[in-house]
Structure 1
């Protein structure tokens, strides 16, 4: 299983149920990496998508504590065990915070967009630089959009 996430300098990923910043090249990279794969997300993350609809050309696996929740074009799971049993090995965990926390231990690769800025955040991703089981396997060049500098870092589990 993989995870993909954009973090600020403090490993913040969101505030008030939304991403901290939208970077067009990062969104294109997200689409390129996840296209054709299953994506695993929480109900609140789904609500941030255009029209609250599942991502096209991907199998959308949604984790929700609300057993009555349903979503056309997606598979909804109320238990982590059932979701994991249904998820293929090459699925991407795409958020939000509680879904990342629940599934990080099942991931062997994390694609991180590191944003060189600090934003007010209320949701965070674990700081992989401080976790001995993770190491940087690839690091991309510095990019910039609208004065925001960022780069891509791939972490792998030891």
Structure 2
């Protein structure tokens, strides 16, 4: 599995259920990297999508502890084990914080958009720069959009990800 995330310099990812700084170029990249692949997300992340509807062109796998939660056009799983059994290897974890933390050990690649500033936040992604099992596999030159500088960095796991048996 893979993950995709946008973080600030403190590895923050959101505040009050919203992205820190929506960047149109990053949203386009997100679509390019996830279209045609299953996406794994939580119920709260789904609620931030337009109309609270699943992303089109992708199989939406939702992990939710809310009993009886259902959504048309998506598959809902009550526990991590059942979700992992149903998730193909090309799945992409797309958030939020608790989903990233639960599934990062099963990922071999993380596509990170680093926003080159900090924001007030209440949700974070694990700091891959400080994680011994992760290393930078590639970086792209910094970009800027509407006075916001950012950079795409790809991380690769240096130890094998956890098995999904």
**Same fold, TM-score > 0.5, yes or no:** yes
**Residues 1:60 and 2:60 aligned together:** yes
Mapped to 1, the partners of 2:22 and 2:55 lie a distance apart of 17
What is aligned with 2:5? 5
What is aligned with 2:42? 42
How far does residue 56 in structure 1 lie from its aligned partner after superposition?
0.1
Mapped to 2, the partners of 1:106 and 1:58 lie a distance apart of 20
How far does residue 67 in structure 1 lie from its aligned partner after superposition?
2.0
Mapped to 2, the partners of 1:118 and 1:88 lie a distance apart of 34
Across the aligned residues of Structure 1 and Structure 2, the Cα RMSD in angstroms comes to 0.4
Alignment of 1:93-104 (within 5 A): 93-104=93-104
What is aligned with 2:79? 79
Give the unaligned 5+ runs of structure 2. Answer: 159-165
What is aligned with 2:161? none
Mapped to 2, the partners of 1:122 and 1:97 lie a distance apart of 10
Alignment of 1:13-52 (within 5 A): 13-52=13-52
Mapped to 1, the partners of 2:105 and 2:135 lie a distance apart of 14
Mapped to 2, the partners of 1:13 and 1:129 lie a distance apart of 15
How far does residue 59 in structure 1 lie from its aligned partner after superposition?
0.1
How far does residue 128 in structure 1 lie from its aligned partner after superposition?
0.1
1:3-33: CA deviation from partner (whole Å, max 9, x where unpaired): 0000000000000011101000000000000
The TM-score with structure 2 as length reference comes to: 0.95
Give the unaligned 5+ runs of structure 1. Answer: none
Q: How many residues end up aligned between the 2 structures?
A: 158
Counterpart secondary structure, 2:102? helix
Mapped to 2, the partners of 1:153 and 1:27 lie a distance apart of 15
Mapped to 1, the partners of 2:27 and 2:62 lie a distance apart of 20
Mapped to 2, the partners of 1:18 and 1:95 lie a distance apart of 11
Mapped to 1, the partners of 2:58 and 2:105 lie a distance apart of 23
Mapped to 1, the partners of 2:66 and 2:121 lie a distance apart of 25
Mapped to 2, the partners of 1:132 and 1:82 lie a distance apart of 28
Mapped to 2, the partners of 1:12 and 1:139 lie a distance apart of 19
The TM-score with structure 1 as length reference comes to: 0.99
Mapped to 2, the partners of 1:29 and 1:2 lie a distance apart of 15
